[in-house]
Amino acid sequence: MLSENDYKKLSAPGSVALVGVTSRVGKGSNNPLEVLLEWGYQGKIYPVNPKGGSILGHRAYTSVLDIPEVPDSAVICAPRDAVPKLFSDCAAKGIKLVSITAQGFFDGDDKGILMQEEILNIASERGIRILGPNTLGVVNNLDGYCTSFMRFINPTSAVGILCQSGVFVVGASQICTGIGLLIDTGNTSDIEFSDLLGHFARDPRLKVINMHMESLRNGQKFMRAARDAAALKPVVIFKTGSSPAGSVAASSHTGSLAGEDKVFDTAFKQCGLLRVGDTEELNDLNKIFSTFNGINGNRVGVISISGGAAIMAVDACSRYGLELATLSKPTMDLMGEMFPEWAHCGNPVDMWPASMFHGYHYTYSRILNALLADPQVDSVICITCSFLEKERDFLDATEIIRDAAAANPGKPIVAWTYGGRFEEYAREFEKENNVVYYYSLDRAARALSGLYKYHHLIKKKDIQPVSLPANPGQVIVEKILAGKTGNLAQTDAFRILESYGIPVARWEMAENIDEAVSHAEKIGYPVSIKVSSPDIIHKSDAGGVRLNIGGAQQLKDAYQEMLQDINNKRPGAKIDGMVIQEYLRGGTELLLGCKKDSQFGPVLAFGAGGVFTEIFKDISLRIPPLSREEIIEMIEETKVSQILAGARGAQKANIEVLINCLISLSQLVLANPSISEMDINPILAYPDRVVALDARIALESSH
């Protein structure tokens, strides 16, 4: 996290130098001084322009060095090639917080990369913090400060925004409902989200935090900051660049499943962030979090002027995991009184038939207030119409709904209205900030579900980082790993698992046929034979696997045959021997794996194993360290867990030992960062035990 002092200099400095500011003003001039003045900035402003003179009534200094004090902050708003010199001047002046607006550094050519590295070196020597480059900087509507060179329509809201692109700055009124405090980290060469999240989370003026993330440097640091922030207030993240185009093709099963975006998704979920898929969903969540401080539960009441629309609301609630409230007796009794005899009453309430007898406004008000008074209702979706010009409209219920909301602040009301005047009615609904309008019932239910999710599934859960004890097997593992790189021999992989308490089907290494027979007798038939060779990764493809061998003669024949087979398919491969292994039947085939992610470090994988791994992709991911509860969640997230739990007459598997295996695996990969990839597939789950049949461990090539 940025120090309090640096954060102040960044977000609301007492003085700021606008270095390289243009002397042009007015339409199209993109003059940050003009914008800063419009924001009503109260601190001291020092424009710097080589020509000197005066800009908008402010004296312009020809160099930063001429400024009579050391400003809290500098914004370098000159073209790229001028930046290194201007930055050196800022450093020489002793300025500790510098924003750089220009493009063309890490996002540009080799020259740009060199310039940025040079700047970062100076910054590191002098203890200067940098925002950007390629940033519109800071927009602080709460304290009146803005570094953007672009003007824009800028309503103030209670939203804190961290972003990496100007689209979120100038588009914030549309995308985020406005700005409380926004920081655009641009190329994010130094100051990053994890430096800022904690400050936003602790600013009582902000009710919800938004992140627009394109990339990330330090996943673990980010996760710590995100967990901390999400415990304090709702954090909504829009991660872009989620399509697979840019992601490197992974080299193993787990890898290809743990596509980069799925890892981000896992990290966000583990931290309690709410991830959205587009700008509208972001806006929708900002509205509901800015308006309501909580929600009692997920039981929704629906009141509608149209039966057809009420059905849409029910579908939408069901889609987002909300429950249709079962109305209590007083509510049902009231409806029984008000509705004609032929009508079916219940939730959703199609209030139209009752309104024929009691008048529209009276009926809407009575029933809505009954729903809000009902202890079995946690929130209400109001459906009204807006198909007439205001002056001709005899069905306007916006005021009734606002009044009901004012009288029942503990129960969120969201509204949808249909008809040609919906935009006008939308504004009417939100006039007193106690009702939120949505453009569709789908979006209304989705937003309600987000509100529920944050307050009941995220905030109430104590998402704390876990620390795992050392595993006693680590001493042995270190010996095995010492000096090795690349793919480990299977026997080493087996020994590592065993050291960490992950059971492996009984095995012995045989260097010749006689040893093979004597090992098989010790293990007991049936057995399998698997070639052990540093040159062969895919043993089956090389003819290096024989399963279910029932006796000594069969074993001898198979051994002989395999040697020939391998010699034909992989001539010259170095053969260390053959692994003779207990052959097991039955059980549920699982996969336990791990792949090191460039941002987040080791990522664990659990799911359906064997031939189905790639087909059904029934894999859950988690970034360790993990609590026992998180491991249980990880297991339960998969479909195959239903079989482990005894679905369809299957025998229940021993989940406890499976959990222990996952804990061991996470200890193993955290304690041994040279492990870049692991696959234990299949590992078989039985009612009494869990047993690995095959394992592959790859180490980083240079370590």
Told to check if 121 binds a copy of itself by CB under 8 A, we report no
Phi, psi (degrees; rounded to nearest 5) at 131 = -105, 125
Told to check if 541 binds a copy of itself by CB under 8 A, we report yes
Among positions 245-264, residues that touch a copy of itself (CB under 8 A) are 245
DSSP β-bridge partners for residue 138:
183
Structure tokens at 533: 């060779």
Whole-number Cα distances in Å, 238 to 164, 278, 366, 680: 11, 7, 40, 34
Distance CA 112, CA 107 (A): 8
| Beta carbons within 8 Å of 460's beta carbon, 6+ residues apart | none
Helices assigned H by DSSP within 151-306: 167-170, 172-175, 193-201, 219-230, 253-257, 260-271, 279-291
Among positions 1-20, residues that touch a copy of itself (CB under 8 A) are none
The single residue among 19, 90, 97, 309 that binds a copy of itself, judged by CB under 8 A, is 309
Dump the DSSP string for 349-414.
EE-HHHHHHH-HHHHHHHHHHHHHH-TT-SEEEEEEE--S-GGG-S---HHHHHHHHHH-TTS-EE
CB of 153 to a copy of itself, least distance (A): 3
CB of 97 to a copy of itself, least distance (A): 24
Interstrand relation of 675-685 and 588-597 (parallel, antiparallel or unpaired): antiparallel
Among positions 560-619, residues that touch a copy of itself (CB under 8 A) are 611-612, 614-616, 618
CB of 518 to a copy of itself, least distance (A): 28
Nearer to a copy of itself, 171 or 534 (CB): 171
Give, in degrees to the nearest 5, the angle at Cα 669 between 668 and 675. Answer: 120
Helix (H) or strand (E) holding 11: helix 4-11
Measured from the Cβ of residue 699, the count of other Cβ atoms closer than 10 Å reads: 18
Told to check if 23 binds a copy of itself by CB under 8 A, we report no
Secondary structure letter of residue 326 according to DSSP: P
Told to check if 188 binds a copy of itself by CB under 8 A, we report no
The single residue among 38, 69, 117, 315 that binds a copy of itself, judged by CB under 8 A, is 315
CB of 341 to a copy of itself, least distance (A): 6
CB of 425 to a copy of itself, least distance (A): 10
Nearer to a copy of itself, 124 or 548 (CB): 548
CB of 415 to a copy of itself, least distance (A): 14
The single residue among 27, 51, 249, 482 that binds a copy of itself, judged by CB under 8 A, is 27
CA nearest to 155, candidates 180, 137, 183, 175: 180
CB of 178 to a copy of itself, least distance (A): 9
Structure tokens at 314: 């029910």
The single residue among 385, 685, 698, 699 that binds a copy of itself, judged by CB under 8 A, is 385
Helix (H) or strand (E) holding 121: helix 110-126
CB of 119 to a copy of itself, least distance (A): 15
Question: Quick one: which segment of 48-56, 138-146, 240-248, 528-536 binds a copy of itself (CB under 8 A)?
Answer: 240-248
Told to check if 465 binds a copy of itself by CB under 8 A, we report no
Nearer to a copy of itself, 201 or 237 (CB): 237
CA nearest to 458, candidates 274, 632, 297, 629: 274
Structure tokens at 572: 């010259």
Secondary structure letter of residue 61 according to DSSP: B
Distance CA 15, CA 551 (A): 86
Question: Quick one: which segment of 89-97, 165-173, 457-465, 688-696 binds a copy of itself (CB under 8 A)?
Answer: 165-173
Nearer to a copy of itself, 246 or 330 (CB): 246
Nearer to a copy of itself, 249 or 482 (CB): 249
The single residue among 118, 143, 214, 565 that binds a copy of itself, judged by CB under 8 A, is 214
The single residue among 38, 333, 423, 557 that binds a copy of itself, judged by CB under 8 A, is 423
Give, in degrees to the nearest 5, the angle at Cα 257 between 256 and 258. Answer: 95
Among positions 434-463, residues that touch a copy of itself (CB under 8 A) are 439-443
CA 54 to mean position of chain CA atoms: 48
- Torsion sign, CA atoms 429, 434, 440, 441: negative
Size of the site for a copy of itself (CB under 8 A): 93
CB of 540 to a copy of itself, least distance (A): 6
Angle, in degrees to the nearest 10, between helices 655-671 and 628-636: 110
Told to check if 108 binds a copy of itself by CB under 8 A, we report yes
Told to check if 84 binds a copy of itself by CB under 8 A, we report no
The single residue among 70, 250, 343, 573 that binds a copy of itself, judged by CB under 8 A, is 343
* H, E, C per residue of 464-530: CCCCCCCCCCHHHHHHHHCCCCEECCHHHHHHHHHHCCCCECCEEEECCHHHHHHHHHHHCCCEEEE
Structural contact between residues 400 and 361, judged by C-beta atoms closer than 8 angstroms? yes
The single residue among 316, 603, 635, 657 that binds a copy of itself, judged by CB under 8 A, is 316
Nearer to a copy of itself, 83 or 477 (CB): 83
Told to check if 226 binds a copy of itself by CB under 8 A, we report no
Structural contact between residues 353 and 339, judged by C-beta atoms closer than 8 angstroms? yes
| Beta carbons within 8 Å of 656's beta carbon, 6+ residues apart | none
The single residue among 43, 84, 144, 419 that binds a copy of itself, judged by CB under 8 A, is 419
> What mask of x and - would describe binding to a copy of itself in positions 34 to 73, judged by CB under 8 A?
----------------------------------------
Nearer to a copy of itself, 350 or 508 (CB): 350
Among positions 268-297, residues that touch a copy of itself (CB under 8 A) are 277-280
Distance CA 162, CA 282 (A): 13
> What mask of x and - would describe binding to a copy of itself in positions 638 to 677, judged by CB under 8 A?
-xx-xx---xxxx---------------------------
Nearer to a copy of itself, 377 or 640 (CB): 640
The single residue among 8, 58, 151, 221 that binds a copy of itself, judged by CB under 8 A, is 151
Told to check if 244 binds a copy of itself by CB under 8 A, we report yes
Nearer to a copy of itself, 278 or 478 (CB): 278
| Beta carbons within 8 Å of 29's beta carbon, 6+ residues apart | 22
Nearer to a copy of itself, 187 or 471 (CB): 187
Among positions 322-341, residues that touch a copy of itself (CB under 8 A) are 324, 340-341
Told to check if 512 binds a copy of itself by CB under 8 A, we report no
Give, in degrees to the nearest 5, the angle at Cα 491 between 490 and 493. Answer: 60
Measured from the Cβ of residue 11, the count of other Cβ atoms closer than 10 Å reads: 23
Among positions 344-373, residues that touch a copy of itself (CB under 8 A) are 344, 352-353
Nearer to a copy of itself, 352 or 525 (CB): 352
Told to check if 241 binds a copy of itself by CB under 8 A, we report yes
CB of 612 to a copy of itself, least distance (A): 8
CA 542 to mean position of chain CA atoms: 41
The single residue among 14, 40, 294, 308 that binds a copy of itself, judged by CB under 8 A, is 308
Told to check if 164 binds a copy of itself by CB under 8 A, we report yes
Phi, psi (degrees; rounded to nearest 5) at 379 = -160, 160
